Amino acid sequence: MFRELLREKGLQDNSNVTVEESIAMFLLVIGHGVKRRVLGGIYIRSLETISRRFHEVLRLVLSLSKDFIRLPNQVENVYENDHKWRWFKDCLGALDGTHVEMTIPLKDQGRYRNRKQQITTNVLGVCDRRSLKFLYVLPGWEGSSLDSKVLRSALVREKDPFLVPTAPYRSTSYHLNKWSSHGNRPSNYNELFNLRHSLARNSVERTFGLLKKRWAVLLQPSFFGTNTQVLIINAYCVLHNYICEIASELDYPLLHEVDCDLAQQSNEVFDVDYEDVIINVQGGSQWTNFRDDMTKEMYSQYQVRSGRT
């Protein structure tokens, strides 16, 4: 149980608050946005006690990160029957960025204002294709930061750097709603690769959607300081993965809501600043040649199946 995990990490009863009360208060804050002053009235505890126990539980939840947010030791090559991923059988997962609203001091808000004029942090995430668990998370970047800048930061970090090859083709249609509208079909191998790459990457959009559905408080600014807000985002991802591991199956009703939201978004007018998406990561010629060879084989098989040879 989650309680026992935190006990093993060092959470103990004290003369003021039990372990169970500490966890309950923590979950009420991050799960429902309950203010500490309200908790003081519920549990008859001082604000200092509640704040201290909250941050203690937060620290211990974050200490579980390496246990629950980790890259797999090896890739399961079971992709033959998965039309989205069969061409990407050696990929660890899917990568994308999302924005989470934050409460930021007025003097710093300009840096955190994204292209939609919202005050947010840009969160980089990598997820597993099947379980929709996070494999890597990097929150904390200002909302004005481009996805590509956040990714470059992950690539050059001294501790646990994230390494990826060059992915989609530039200056080529990519996003799914470009294909779903007007019955568009790929006309060359670059377009086919980008279509199938986008289909595979859809798993990370579902993971972010599931995270925000499960922790709806993420959809509104927090009342904590900037650094604590970033730590709480990490904690959400740890708890998300914990729930995925202990659950016998995915929360399909919630996932259905996510899929409906994504379908609705894909039908809306697509308005994106292409400088604000990850469209290219500098890679060596070995990866580029590998991608090109795979893409040409992919397109050759596509032409045979569609009778276009």
The predicted-structure confidence for 244-269, as pLDDT tens digits, reads as follows: 988 867 777 888 898 888 877 765 54
**What is the C-alpha separation between 82 and 112, in angstroms, rounded?**
39
Question: Is residue 301 very low, low, confident or very high in pLDDT (cuts 50, 70, 90)?
Answer: confident
In a domain, 221, yes or no: yes
Domain shared by 177 and 233, yes or no: yes
**What is the C-alpha separation between 67 and 2, in angstroms, rounded?**
13
Structure tokens at 200: 């595979």
Last residue of a domain, one of 63, 82, 105: 63
Last residue of a domain, one of 15, 45, 63: 63
Question: Is residue 184 very low, low, confident or very high in pLDDT (cuts 50, 70, 90)?
Answer: low
**What is the C-alpha separation between 278 and 141, in angstroms, rounded?**
15
Number of domains making up the chain:
2
Of 171, 180, 203, which Cα lies nearest the Cα of 88? 203
Residue 57 belongs to what domain range?
A: 2-63
Residue 240, pLDDT above cutoff 90: yes
Strands (E), the chain: 94-101, 120-127, 134-142
Domain shared by 108 and 212, yes or no: yes
In a domain, 31, yes or no: yes
